[in-house]
C-alpha cells in the first residue's frame, strides 16, 4: 500500500519532511513513526498505518509534501483499501474530516490572487540548463528594482514565461500576507529582510556554531509572533499546596499500582479545567478577521514538555471529563512519547489553554509567553515551604508560585484575577474524593 | 591650476565610453570625457568595426560580379582607385566621429583631448597639448579598450608586419599576404585583401578556423575561404619572422614539419590585449588579472569603490555592444539604482562571407557544460529567398531546452546573418519558446523565415523541409 500524507489539521495542507525514520527494506510495525514532518504549526511524526516492509520511500528530507502525496510504499499481504482509508482516518484524528483525496480537490488554486492561507511560497523555478526563469527584460528590470526574486514566481505564459500580471499577483499576495499576518510566513518574510549584520564572535575567543533544529526554529517563530502581536499582562499569585502534597504522598503508591505516576501536574490540570469552566473567556480565542471571540465547549490543555529536541507542547484532551488517575497516566504517556519524538502532529494541536510547569526543574516566578491562538497560559514554579500567617499564627506551609499571562484583548484584569483566584481555590481545596481511587 | 570638477569622468571615448558619458549626462550628471585621439569613437569607429565593415562592403561587389556571370550577367574586370576607396572609408569615420562630438556638445559633456593618468582615487591627470589638466571626480569609468596583440617575436618594427589597425589603412596591397590567426579579424581582413588581389594564406594554430564557433556554422565560411584564399593551414604555428629584403621570412611549424616561406606582407591577428599601460592604476585600488584585464564585479565596480570599468579593458567577449551595455549598468549603479550584468544576451557577428552570427547558448557551449539541449536546424538550401539570392550556403539553428521548449540560443550562418540574429536575441531575452517563434508569421520570401521554419522543424511541421527534428 501507498502511505499518503494525511490531512494534518485544519488549514495545514503541506509540510516539510524533517527526518525519515525508516529505510527501504525495513520492517515496520503499525503505528511506528515513519517520518517527522514540520508544518506551519508544529513538528510531529507520521505513524505507519500498517505493519509491513518498506518497499519504497518516495520523499526526501527537506522536501515539501502536501496532503495526499505518497510518502512511502509498504508491502503488507493483508493490505486492503479499507485498511488504508481507516489508517488515514485514524491519523487524521477523527473520521469527521474529509479524506485526503477530497481535501486535495479543495486546493485547486484560484485564479489571480490566492488567499493568504492558500498562498504557497515554496515554488522555485528550476532549469536543467541552469538558466534564469523566462521573463522579458522589462519584467526582469522591474523585479530587480523591487528586489523580487523571479524564480519564486510561476509564469503563466507559454513555457512558464513570467509576465507583468504574474509579477503583480505575486506582489499582491505578499502584500496580503504582510497586512493580514500569517504565522507561517513570519520566517519567510523575515528572511526577505535585509540580513542582520553578522557579529564576528570569534574575535573574542573560540566559538562553535550549531544549526537551529526545526523544533527550535518553530518555537522561535511562534514566540516572536506571540510576543510581537499579543498585548500581554502577567498576574502573579500563590497557592497553598500543603494539602495536595499530603494527598500525593498518601495515594502515590496506589497510583503506581495503576501504572500512573502521580505528580503535581494532574492536580493543576484539574484545578485549571474547573476554573476554565467558570471563566469561558480564558478558554476562548480571538478571531481578528471576523472581530469575534470564539468560545470552545471543550477543555484541551497543552502541557509544555522539556525534551531533548526542545520545547514541545502535547495536548491533553477533555481534561474536565477525565479523572485524576487517567490524567496522570495520559500525562506520563504523552511525556514519554514526546521525549521519544513519537508524538504525532495531531497530538500537538487543538489546545485551548497551556500549562507550563517548571516545578520539577526548580525556580520560582516566571512570566510565560502565550501560545497563540490561545488567550492565556499558566506558569507554575516549584512549591516551597514558607512561613505564612494562618489563623493568626505563623506556620510553615508549602506555597506554589503562579503566574497567569493573558491576552488583554480578550481578558481584562478583573476577569484574570478572578480566574486565577479560582485556580488557587481549586488547588487549595482539592476534594480528596477526586484523588481517591474508586 | 584649479582642477576641473565633475561628477563622473569617463576615460576613453569608444562605444563603451561615449555611451557611458552620454547616458550619465542624460541622467543629469556632470560628465567629463577624456580621449587621447582627436576623433572620438575609439577602436570600433577608427580602426575596428566600422572601417572593416566599410571595406568588406566595398569589396563584396568583386565576388558578386564574378558570381553574376553564371546568372548571365557579366562585367568587365573592375578597376580599383585606392585613394578614392580610402577617402570614402575615411569620410564615414569622419562623419561618425564628428557626430559623436556633436552629440557630446549638445549634452554638455565636456571633452578633454589627452592621455589620462590616475593620481589617486579622486583625481585624474590629463596630459593635453596645452599641458597638464587635473580632473577631480566623484566616480570614474575606465573604458580604455584593447589593442591588437603583437607577440614580441613578431614585433620587428617592419611595416610589412601589420596588425588590423595598419591593415585597415590600405597602405599597400601585398601580393602574397600571410594572415596569422583565423579568428574573426583574420578571416574578415583576409576576405577584404583577397578581393583586392592579394594571394592570401591563413594560418591557424587550432584545428579549425573561427575557433569557438560551432563547427556547423564555421563550415560554410571554411568552404568560402578554401576557394577565395590561396590556402588555409590549420594546426600550424608561426615560430619566427625575419626581414628578408622586401619580404618577410616566416618560419612555421606543424606537428610534422618546419617550413620557411617568404611573404610580401603579414597580418598578425592573434587576439587583443588590454590598453592598461601607464594609466596610473597603481595609485588607486583597482586590480588586474594576470592578463592585465581590470577585475570588476557584475555592477562593473573595480576593487576601488570610486572607479568602474567597462568594455574590452575587463576582458571577456571584446565587443562594442557589450561595452555599451556595461556602460549603462555602470551609470545606473553610480546613480544608486539596481543593475548588474546578469542574464544578458550578447550577440556576436562575424562579417565573413557568408556571415556568422549567434546569441545565447551555443551548441558547443551546451556540450562543453553538459547541458542537455535539442537543436532544430533549417538548411538554407530549402529557402526560396536564399536561392533567389544565389546563396544557399546557410544554416539557421535553434538551441532549445527540451522540457520547456524554451529557446536558449540561436546560431545562423549565411548572407546577412548579422541582421537576422537580433530576432534571436529578442526570442532568448523574452524567454520565447520554439512554439512562440513558429507562431509568428514571417514575410515570404525572406531569410528571416528560416528562423520560423527552424522552429516549425522542431515540431516536425516545417513547410519546406521534411521532418528534420534534431541532430
How far is residue A42's CA from residue A18's CA, in Å, rounded to a whole number? 11
Is the N-terminal amide bond of B445 cis, ω within 30° of 0? yes
Place of cell 488547588: A427
Interface touch A128/B433, C-beta < 8 Å: no
Interface touch B343/A140, C-beta < 8 Å: yes
| Grid cell for residue B436 | 512562440
pLDDT digits (tens, 9 = 90+) for B103-129: 999 999 999 999 999 999 999 999 999
> B458 to each of B447, B454, B455, how far by Cα in Å?
18, 6, 5
pLDDT, position A196: 59
pLDDT digits (tens, 9 = 90+) for B242-259: 999 999 999 999 988 999
Cβ neighbours for A73, distance < 8 A, ≥ 6 positions apart: A1, A2, A3, A54, A55, A56, A58
Is the N-terminal amide bond of B354 cis, ω within 30° of 0? yes
Interface test with A, best of B404, B436, B459 (most A CBs within 10 A): B404
Closest CA to B353 of B47, B59, B42, B40: B59
pLDDT digits (tens, 9 = 90+) for B300-323: 999 999 999 999 999 999 999 999
Out of B337, B401, B435, name the one closest to residue A127 (CB): B401
| Grid cell for residue B24 | 550619465
pLDDT digits (tens, 9 = 90+) for A403-416: 999 999 999 999 99
Average pLDDT, chain A: 82
Interface touch B435/A133, C-beta < 8 Å: no
Backbone angles phi, psi at B389, to 5 degrees: -85, 0
Residue A41 pLDDT level (bands cut at 50, 70, 90): low
CB B29 within 8 A of CB B160: no
pLDDT, position A99: 40
* Helix, strand, coil in percent for chain A, rounding step 5: 35, 25, 40
Interface touch A161/B339, C-beta < 8 Å: no
Residue B440 has pLDDT above 70, yes or no: yes
Interface test with B, best of A125, A126, A128, A129 (most B CBs within 10 A): A129
pLDDT, position A437: 84
The secondary structure of residue A367, as a DSSP letter, is -
Interface touch A161/B431, C-beta < 8 Å: yes
Tell me which chain A residues have a C-beta less than 8 angstroms from the C-beta of B430: 134, 136-137, 161
Tell me which chain B residues have a C-beta less than 8 angstroms from the C-beta of A160: 404
- CATH 3.30.559.10 domain extents, chain A: 217-435
CB B145 within 8 A of CB B12: yes
Our CA-based measurement puts residue A186 at a distance from the nearest CA of chain B, in whole angstroms, of 26
Domain A120-181 sits in CATH 3.30.565.10 = no
| Grid cell for residue B137 | 571626480
Write the class of the CATH domain B354-458.
Answer: alpha beta
Interface touch B343/A130, C-beta < 8 Å: no
pLDDT, position A109: 40
The H or E element that residue B247 is part of is: strand B247-253
pLDDT, position A178: 82
Tell me which chain B residues have a C-beta less than 8 angstroms from the C-beta of A147: 338
Out of B339, B340, B431, name the one closest to residue A135 (CB): B431
CB B408 within 8 A of CB B468: no
| Grid cell for residue B172 | 599597400
Average pLDDT, chain B: 95
Tell me which chain A residues have a C-beta less than 8 angstroms from the C-beta of B372: 128-129
pLDDT digits (tens, 9 = 90+) for B258-302: 999 999 999 999 999 999 788 999 999 999 999 999 999 999 999
CA dihedral A300, A305, A308, A310 (to 10 degrees): 70
Our CA-based measurement puts residue B371 at a distance from the nearest CA of chain A, in whole angstroms, of 5
How far is residue B438's CA from residue B457's CA, in Å, rounded to a whole number? 9
| Grid cell for residue A352 | 485551548
Cβ neighbours for A112, distance < 8 A, ≥ 6 positions apart: A169
Interface touch B408/A131, C-beta < 8 Å: yes
pLDDT, position B297: 95
Interface touch A158/B338, C-beta < 8 Å: no
**pLDDT higher at A75 or B129:** B129
Is the N-terminal amide bond of A373 cis, ω within 30° of 0? yes
Say if residue A348 is exposed, middle or buried (CB neighbours under 10 Å; 0-12, 13-18, 19+).
buried
Tell me which chain B residues have a C-beta less than 8 angstroms from the C-beta of A155: 431
Q: Do domains B4-146+273-334 and B354-458 have the same CATH topology?
A: no
Interface touch B371/A130, C-beta < 8 Å: yes
pLDDT, position A63: 81
Residue A145 has pLDDT above 90, yes or no: no
The listed CATH number (3.40.50.450, 3.30.559.10, 3.30.365.10, 3.30.70.100) that belongs to domain A217-435: 3.30.559.10
pLDDT, position A276: 96
- CATH domain B4-146+273-334 topology: FAD/NAD(P)-binding domain (3.50.50)
Residue A118 has pLDDT above 80, yes or no: no
Total CB pairs under 8 A between chain A and B: 59
DSSP string, A278-331: H-GGGG-EEETTTTEEE--SS--EEE-EEETTEEE--EETTGGGS-HHHHHHHH
Chain A residue with CA closest to B343: the answer is: A132
Task: Please name the CATH architecture into which domain B161-270 falls.
Answer: 3-Layer(bba) Sandwich (3.50)
Residue A93 pLDDT level (bands cut at 50, 70, 90): very low
Our CA-based measurement puts residue A137 at a distance from the nearest CA of chain B, in whole angstroms, of 6
Residue B381 pLDDT level (bands cut at 50, 70, 90): very high
Interface touch B429/A136, C-beta < 8 Å: yes
Tell me which chain B residues have a C-beta less than 8 angstroms from the C-beta of A159: 404-406, 431-433, 435-436
> B266 to each of B142, B166, B260, how far by Cα in Å?
32, 11, 14
- Residues on B contacting A at a C-beta cutoff of 8 Å: 337-340, 342-343, 361, 366, 369, 371-373, 401, 403-406, 408, 429-433, 435-436
Interface touch B436/A159, C-beta < 8 Å: yes
Out of A132, A155, A159, name the one closest to residue B343 (CB): A132
Place of cell 496580503: A176
Tell me which chain B residues have a C-beta less than 8 angstroms from the C-beta of A137: 429-430
Residue A189 has pLDDT above 70, yes or no: no
Our CA-based measurement puts residue B439 at a distance from the nearest CA of chain A, in whole angstroms, of 12
Largest CA distance in chain A: 87
Interface touch B433/A159, C-beta < 8 Å: yes
CB B153 within 8 A of CB B21: no
Closest CA to B430 of A129, A128, A396, A136: A136
Interface touch A134/B339, C-beta < 8 Å: no
CB A410 within 8 A of CB A284: yes
Our CA-based measurement puts residue B137 at a distance from the nearest CA of chain A, in whole angstroms, of 27
User: Does residue B312 sit in helix, strand or coil?
Assistant: helix
**pLDDT higher at A427 or A103:** A427
Tell me which chain A residues have a C-beta less than 8 angstroms from the C-beta of B337: 145
Tell me which chain B residues have a C-beta less than 8 angstroms from the C-beta of A162: 431
Ranges of each domain in chain B: 4-146+273-334, 161-270, 354-458
pLDDT digits (tens, 9 = 90+) for A315-345: 999 999 999 999 999 999 999 888 887 888 8
- Residues on A contacting B at a C-beta cutoff of 8 Å: 127-137, 140, 144-145, 147, 155, 158-162
Chain B residue with CA closest to A159: the answer is: B404
CB B291 within 8 A of CB B315: yes
Interface touch B431/A128, C-beta < 8 Å: no
Cβ neighbours for B157, distance < 8 A, ≥ 6 positions apart: none
pLDDT, position A49: 82
Is position A261 annotated as part of the catalytic site? no
Tell me which chain B residues have a C-beta less than 8 angstroms from the C-beta of A149: none
Chain A residue with CA closest to B435: the answer is: A158
Write the class of the CATH domain A2-105.
Answer: mainly beta
Amino acid at each position: 500500500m501507498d502511505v499518503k500524507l494525511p490531512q494534518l489539521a485544519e488549514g495545514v495542507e503541506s509540510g516539510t519532511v524533517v527526518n525519515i525514520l525508516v529505510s527501504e527494506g525495513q520492517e515496520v510495525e503499525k503505528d511506528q513513526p515513519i517520518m517527522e514532518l514540520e508544518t506551519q504549526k508544529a513538528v510531529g511524526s507520521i505513524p505507519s498505518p500498517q505493519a509491513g516492509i518498506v518497499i519504497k520511500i518516495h520523499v526526501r528530507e527537506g522536501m515539501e509534501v502536501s496532503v495526499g502525496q505518497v510518502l512511502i510504499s509498504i508491502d503488507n499481504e493483508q493490505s486492503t483499501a479499507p485498511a488504508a482509508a481507516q489508517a488515514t482516518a485514524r491519523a487524521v484524528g477523527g473520521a469527521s474530516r474529509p479524506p485526503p483525496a477530497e481535501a486535495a480537490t479543495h486546493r485547486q488554486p484560484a485564479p489571480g490572487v490566492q488567499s493568504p492561507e492558500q498562498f504557497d511560497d515554496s515554488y522555485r523555478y528550476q532549469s536543467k540548463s541552469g538558466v534564469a526563469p523566462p521573463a522579458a527584460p522589462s519584467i526582469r528590470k522591474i523585479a530587480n528594482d523591487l528586489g523580487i526574486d523571479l524564480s519564486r514566481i510561476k509564469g503563466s505564459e507559454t513555457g512558464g514565461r513570467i509576465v507583468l500580471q504574474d509579477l503583480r499577483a505575486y506582489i499582491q499576495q505578499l502584500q496580503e500576507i504582510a497586512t493580514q499576518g500569517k504565522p507561517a510566513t513570519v520566517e519567510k518574510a523575515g528572511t526577505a529582510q535585509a540580513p542582520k549584520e553578522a557579529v564576528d564572535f570569534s574575535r573574542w575567543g573560540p566559538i562553535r556554531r550549531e544549526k537551529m533544529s526545526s523544533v527550535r526554529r518553530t518555537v522561535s517563530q511562534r514566540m516572536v509572533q506571540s510576543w510581537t502581536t499579543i498585548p500581554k499582562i502577567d498576574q502573579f499569585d500563590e497557592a497553598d499546596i500543603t494539602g495536595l502534597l499530603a494527598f500525593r504522598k498518601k495515594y502515590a503508591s496506589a497510583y503506581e499500582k495503576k501504572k500512573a505516576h502521580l505528580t503535581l501536574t494532574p492536580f493543576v490540570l484539574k484545578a485549571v479545567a474547573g476554573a476554565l469552566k467558570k471563566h469561558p473567556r480564558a478558554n476562548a480565542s480571538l478571531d481578528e478577521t471576523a472581530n469575534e471571540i470564539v468560545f470552545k465547549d471543550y477543555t484541551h490543555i497543552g502541557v509544555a514538555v522539556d525534551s531533548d529536541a526542545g520545547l514541545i507542547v502535547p495536548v491533553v484532551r477533555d481534561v474536565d471529563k477525565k479523572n485524576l488517575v487517567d490524567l496522570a497516566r495520559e500525562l506520563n504517556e504523552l511525556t514519554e512519547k514526546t521525549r521519544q519524538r513519537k508524538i504525532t502532529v495531531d497530538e500537538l494541536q487543538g489546545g485551548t489553554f497551556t500549562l507550563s510547569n517548571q516545578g520539577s526543574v526548580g525556580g520560582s516566578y516566571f512570566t510565560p509567553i502565550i501560545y497563540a491562538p490561545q488567550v492565556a497560559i499558566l506558569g507554575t514554579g516549584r512549591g516551597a515551604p514558607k512561613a505564612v500567617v494562618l489563623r493568626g499564627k505563623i506556620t510553615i506551609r508549602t506555597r506554589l508560585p503562579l503566574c497567569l499571562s493573558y491576552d488583554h484583548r480578550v481578558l481584562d484584569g478583573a476577569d484574570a484575577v478572578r480566574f486565577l483566584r479560582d485556580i488557587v481555590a481549586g488547588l487549595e481545596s482539592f476534594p480528596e474524593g477526586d484523588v481517591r481511587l474508586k | 591650476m584649479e582642477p576641473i570638477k565633475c561628477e563622473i569622468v569617463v576615460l576613453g571615448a569608444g562605444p563603451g565610453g561615449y555611451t557611458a558619458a552620454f547616458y550619465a549626462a542624460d541622467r543629469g550628471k556632470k560628465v567629463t570625457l577624456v580621449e587621447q585621439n582627436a576623433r572620438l569613437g575609439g577602436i570600433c569607429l577608427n580602426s575596428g568595426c566600422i572601417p572593416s565593415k566599410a571595406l568588406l562592403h566595398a569589396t563584396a561587389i568583386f565576388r558578386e560580379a564574378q558570381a553574376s556571370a553564371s546568372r548571365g550577367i557579366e562585367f568587365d574586370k573592375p578597376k580599383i582607385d585606392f585613394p578614392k576607396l580610402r577617402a570614402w572609408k575615411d569620410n564615414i569615420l569622419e562623419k561618425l566621429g564628428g557626430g559623436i562630438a556633436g552629440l557630446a556638445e549638445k549634452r554638455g559633456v565636456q571633452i578633454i583631448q589627452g592621455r589620462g593618468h590616475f593620481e589617486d582615487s579622486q583625481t585624474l591627470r590629463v596630459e593635453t597639448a596645452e599641458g597638464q589638466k587635473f580632473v577631480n571626480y566623484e566616480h570614474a569609468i575606465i573604458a580604455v579598450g584593447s589593442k591588437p596583440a603583437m607577440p614580441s617575436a613578431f614585433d620587428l618594427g617592419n611595416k610589412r608586419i601589420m596588425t588590423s589597425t595598419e591593415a585597415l589603412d590600405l597602405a599597400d596591397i601585398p601580393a602574397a599576404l600571410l594572415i596569422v590567426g583565423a579568428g574573426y579579424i583574420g578571416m574578415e581582413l583576409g576576405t577584404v585583401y583577397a578581393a583586392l588581389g592579394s594571394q592570401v594564406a591563413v594560418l591557424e594554430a587550432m584545428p579549425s578556423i573561427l575557433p569557438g564557433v560551432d563547427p556547423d556554422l564555421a563550415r560554410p565560411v571554411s568552404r568560402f575561404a578554401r576557394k577565395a584564399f590561396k590556402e588555409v593551414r590549420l594546426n600550424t604555428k608561426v615560430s619566427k619572422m625575419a626581414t628578408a629584403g622586401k619580404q618577410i621570412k616566416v618560419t612555421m611549424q606543424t606537428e610534422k614539419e618546419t617550413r620557411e616561406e617568404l611573404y610580401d606582407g603579414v597580418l598578425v591577428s592573434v587576439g587583443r590585449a588590454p590598453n592598461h599601460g601607464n594609466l596610473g592604476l597603481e595609485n588607486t585600488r583597482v586590480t588586474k588579472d594576470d592578463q592585465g584585464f581590470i577585475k570588476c564585479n557584475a555592477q562593473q565596480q573595480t576593487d576601488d569603490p570610486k572607479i568602474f570599468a567597462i568594455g574590452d579593458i575587463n576582458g571577456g567577449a571584446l565587443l562594442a555592444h557589450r561595452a555599451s551595455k556595461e556602460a549603462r549598468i555602470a551609470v545606473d549603479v553610480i546613480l544608486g539604482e539596481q543593475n548588474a550584468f546578469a542574464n544578458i544576451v550578447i550577440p556576436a557577428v562575424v562579417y565573413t562571407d557568408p556571415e556568422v552570427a549567434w546569441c545565447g547558448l551555443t551548441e558547443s557551449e551546451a556540450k562543453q557544460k553538459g547541458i542537455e539541449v535539442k537543436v532544430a536546424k533549417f538548411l538554407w538550401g530549402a529557402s526560396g529567398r536564399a536561392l533567389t539570392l544565389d546563396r544557399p550556403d546557410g544554416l539557421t539553428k535553434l538551441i532549445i531546452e527540451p522540457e520547456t521548449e524554451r529557446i536558449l540560443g540561436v546560431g545562423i550562418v549565411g548572407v546577412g546573418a548579422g541582421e537576422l540574429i537580433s530576432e534571436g536575441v529578442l526570442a532568448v531575452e523574452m524567454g520565447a519558446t520554439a512554439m512562440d517563434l513558429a507562431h509568428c508569421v514571417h514575410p515570404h520570401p525572406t531569410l528571416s523565415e528560416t528562423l520560423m521554419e527552424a522552429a516549425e522543424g522542431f515540431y516536425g511541421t516545417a513547410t519546406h523541409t521534411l521532418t528534420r527534428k534534431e541532430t
